[in-house]
């Protein structure tokens, strides 16, 4: 039984939850998701139980969010049976965690982000580096709440090794389920094309271009890249980044698409994928880029479970980043080999495969606790 009191609108964490649940269901799991609203065509058929569906899902709800969260929780616990697994996502309240623990059900969390206690330090330092006050929204009250949620839980799905490492000093560490996120694999993979896609060499970044994603490190070195190397930013830009890097963002060296739905066309017309993120749970864009056979340069946070198939660099090591990007830019054979490796690796990360692994590993974890 999954509690994820947020909108199911076809994007974001709720879509990740839906993809994982689909994979679990394909392996025989009974999965029911409880949310505030759904704009999906047939939510019940997908296992989504929402307070608001159809026309009602378009009504504004932010000002009544806390009230609606209680309605979702009420429905969730009314339908929860003895022996059901309580699968709680980030948006689930502390009240819900306490109730689940009180009932005695097995409680597992989704580690969609790095532990806040760990992430705050990383992000505080990053904002200090660019001379701006922190704008990440993590405060000590939120940290204390998350720490209690962890203590009330039996296990957690950790979608990358950095999520695991951040929990090493917590009791839940010994019950981590190492997992991943995934991607919808095509029946036929795109051809790996190491030749340039056009006159410009396009390095693609996908996501919200913010301090958390390390975009400031890229923008700081981009004037040292060749003139025909373009940084394509597919996504919105954080205001503080717009202010600090306005000159280069307005230049012809950077392409800004803004927020878009359906990014496949941008992967298809890019030459490489770069993702200098400082803090992540499980970056799905890395798996998406791998499907397209793009050379990938990223950080330990951004690698997901792709391992040595991607080029992994320290987020703030700008000289190493510049060197790696120039190598990718110059070397056709390197681009082909990097593209081949990631495309081979990503074949193990179809959502159905990922969901099936999680269902199996969850069963093993519960079985181990009963021994």
Domain ranges of the chain: 2-182+350-370, 201-348
| Residue tagged 């990360």 (tokens) | 349
Q: How remote is the C-alpha of 287 from its chain's centroid?
A: 10
Residue 348 burial (CB < 10 Å; 0-12/13-18/19+)?
Answer: middle
pTM, rounded to two decimals: 0.94
Q: Fold match between 2-182+350-370 and 201-348?
A: yes
What fold, for 2-182+350-370? Rossmann fold (3.40.50)
Distances (CA, A) of 149 to 89, 95, 186, 319: 11, 9, 37, 40
pLDDT of residue 360: 96
Q: How far apart are CA 133 and CA 231, in angstroms?
A: 26
Per-10-residue mean pLDDT for the chain, 371 residues long? 92 94 92 91 86 77 79 96 95 96 97 96 96 95 98 97 96 97 96 91 98 98 97 98 97 96 94 97 95 98 96 96 98 98 98 97 86 46
Whether residue 342 contacts residue 296, with contact meaning beta carbons closer than 8 Å, is answered with yes
What fold, for 201-348? Rossmann fold (3.40.50)
Q: How far apart are CA 313 and CA 352, in angstroms?
A: 30
pLDDT of residue 67: 84
Q: How remote is the C-alpha of 288 from its chain's centroid?
A: 12
pLDDT of residue 37: 87
Distances (CA, A) of 210 to 80, 144, 224: 39, 25, 21
pLDDT of residue 371: 46
SS3 per-residue string spanning 278-319:
CCCCCCHHHHHHHHCCCCEEECCCCCCCCHHHCEECCCCCHH
**Nearest partner of 148 among 99, 97, 78, 199, judged by Cα:** 97
Structure tokens at 361: 């590993």
pLDDT of residue 329: 98
Dmax (CA) of the chain: 63
């Amino acid at each position: 039984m999954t509690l994820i009191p947020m909108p199911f609108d076809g994007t974001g964490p709720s879509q990740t939850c839906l993809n994982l649940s689909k994979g679990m269901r394909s392996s025989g799991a009974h999965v029911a998701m409880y949310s505030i609203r759904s704009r999906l065509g047939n939510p019940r058929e997908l296992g989504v139980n929402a307070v608001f569906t159809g026309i009602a899902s378009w009504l504004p709800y932010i000002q009544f969010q806390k009230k609606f969260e209680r309605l979702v929780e009420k429905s969730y616990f009314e339908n929860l049976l003895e022996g059901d697994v309580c699968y709680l996502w980030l948006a689930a309240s502390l009240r819900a965690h306490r109730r689940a623990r009180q009932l005695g059900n097995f409680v597992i969390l989704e580690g969609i982000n790095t532990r806040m206690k760990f992430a705050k330090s990383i992000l505080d330092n990053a904002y200090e580096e660019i001379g701006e006050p922190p704008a990440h929204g993590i405060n000590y009250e939120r940290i204390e709440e998350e720490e209690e949620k962890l203590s009330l839980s039996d296990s957690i799905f950790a979608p990358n090794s950095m999520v695991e490492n951040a929990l090493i000093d917590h009791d839940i560490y010994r019950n981590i389920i190492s997992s991943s996120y995934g991607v919808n694999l095509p029946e036929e993979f795109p051809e790996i094309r190491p030749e340039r896609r056009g006159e410009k060499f396009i390095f693609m970044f996908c996501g919200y271009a913010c301090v958390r994603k390390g975009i400031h490190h890229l923008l700081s070195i981009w004037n040292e890249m060749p003139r025909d190397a373009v940084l394509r930013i597919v996504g919105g830009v954080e205001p503080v980044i717009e202010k600090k890097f306005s000159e280069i963002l307005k230049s012809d060296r950077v392409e800004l698409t803004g927020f878009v739905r359906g990014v496949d066309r941008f992967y298809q017309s890019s030459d490489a994928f770069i993702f200098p993120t400082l803090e992540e749970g499980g970056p799905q864009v890395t798996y998406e880029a791998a499907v397209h056979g793009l050379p990938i340069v990223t950080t330990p946070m951004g690698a997901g479970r792709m391992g040595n198939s991607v080029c992994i660099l320290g987020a703030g090591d700008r000289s190493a980043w510049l060197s790696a990007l120039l190598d990718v830019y110059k070397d056709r054979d390197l681009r082909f080999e990097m593209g081949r490796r990631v495309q081979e690796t990503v074949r193990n990360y179809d959502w159905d495969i990922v969901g099936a692994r999680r269902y199996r590993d969850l069963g093993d974890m519960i079985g181990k606790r009963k021994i």
